[in-house]
Each structure stands twice: as structure tokens, then as C-alpha cells.
């Protein structure tokens, strides 16, 4: 019965009774989503980790950042860090592919092994993903592909880094190090 109540709470915490509309949650890790392979995903699996949440696209000038994101993921994974990729077609239709095409592109071109999730809407308004509604509570929503949110172990957004901030940048790496506790 407790498990059923917890599952019901998780659903109610991320959607309202009216067409899946969002309601308030206090932790990124309280949200539910779907993997790129179409399976349900519970972001609670990342609770206690530091994550870098990125809206990604395969046909963007910033697409080569996949390589740096994978490098960050590999370098810091043993310290409780993960990159989480959320494909989005919000900006100039630069992610038109199917889930299978996205997965193949990422693996073939950049060796991506970090978790990738189903395509989402990042922009505010109707259809916006609860993920990006939560991330945008601090006033920052991606203005383009490869916007990056650093999320702490507690599920709170620590910082937002726009597309032009590369994964290799000192600013981003220092923020990750600080969040991980050096």
C-alpha cells in the first residue's frame, strides 16, 4: 500500500488532473520522464548526485559540445556526477530526428554513453516539459540548444550556463568541482 501511495504521489507531484499540467515540486529528482528508448524514467535515480542537464540537438552549431559533455561525464562519474541529455526541437528545428536516429547519431559521432531522454519542449507555454518548467523557476530558460543547468545533490538548480559556455570552460568545470565538494 505504501508503494502504491508513493507512486501516486510521484505522479501527482509532477502533473495536475487536467491534461498533465504541471504543479510545484521542490526537487528536480522528484520528476518523472521517459528515456530515449521510450521507457519510464524516475529522476530520483540521480538523487544524491550532481547532474548537468542539457537541452541537446543534432543539427546545431553547438552539437560538437556532445564530445565535451561526454568527457565531463566520464571524468566526474566516479565522484557522483552525470550529464543528462534532453533532446529538443525548439530552436530552428535542429532536432528533427526520431528517438532511434538521435541515439544512433550521438553514439556514432560522439560516443555518447550518458543518459539521454525523450525529446522535450523547453520553451514556456503549452506543452512545456515539467522538467524545463522546474529548471526555469529561477528565471532562466534555454535561449538556444545546449543550455546547461547544474543541479545539486539535493535536486536544486545551482547555476545555469548558456549555449556559448562550452563543457571545457573553466567557469563550468569550477562550478561542477565546487558542487562535488572538490
Catalytic site residue from 10, 13, 44, 60: 60
Of the candidates 15, 19, 171, 99, the residue with the CA atom closest to the CA atom of residue 85:
99
List alpha helices for the chain, DSSP H.
2-14, 65-76, 99-110, 130-135, 170-180
Residue 131 phi, psi dihedral angles, 5° rounding: -60, -50
106 is catalytic: no
- Angle at which helices 170-180 and 65-76 cross, to 10°: 30
Distance between CA atoms of residues 70 and 51, nearest Å: 13
Map residue 113 onto helix, strand or coil: coil
* Secondary structure class of 84 (helix, strand, coil): strand
CA angle 97, 140, 149 (to 5 degrees): 65
Distance (Å, rounded) from C-alpha 39 to C-alpha 50? 23
User: Annotated active-site positions, please?
Assistant: 60
Amino acid at each position: 500500500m505504501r508503494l502504491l501511495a508513493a507512486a501516486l504521489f510521484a505522479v501527482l507531484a509532477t502533473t495536475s488532473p487536467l491534461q498533465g499540467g504541471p504543479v510545484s515540486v521542490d526537487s528536480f529528482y522528484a520528476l518523472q520522464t521517459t528515456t530515449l528508448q521510450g521507457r519510464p524514467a524516475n529522476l530520483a535515480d540521480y538523487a544524491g548526485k550532481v547532474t548537468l542537464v542539457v537541452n541537446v540537438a543534432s543539427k546545431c552549431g553547438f552539437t560538437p559540445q556532445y564530445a565535451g559533455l561526454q568527457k565531463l561525464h566520464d571524468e566526474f562519474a566516479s565522484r557522483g556526477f552525470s550529464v543528462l541529455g534532453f533532446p529538443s526541437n525548439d530552436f530552428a528545428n535542429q532536432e528533427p530526428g526520431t528517438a532511434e536516429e538521435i541515439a544512433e547519431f550521438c553514439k556514432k559521432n560522439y560516443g555518447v554513453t550518458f543518459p539521454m531522454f525523450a525529446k522535450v519542449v523547453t520553451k514556456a507555454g503549452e506543452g512545456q516539459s515539467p522538467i524545463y518548467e522546474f529548471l526555469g523557476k529561477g528565471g532562466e530558460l534555454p535561449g538556444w540548444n545546449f543550455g546547461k543547468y547544474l543541479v545539486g545533490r539535493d535536486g536544486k538548480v545551482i547555476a545555469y550556463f548558456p549555449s556559448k559556455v562550452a563543457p571545457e570552460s573553466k567557469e563550468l568545470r569550477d562550478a561542477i568541482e565546487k558542487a562535488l565538494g572538490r
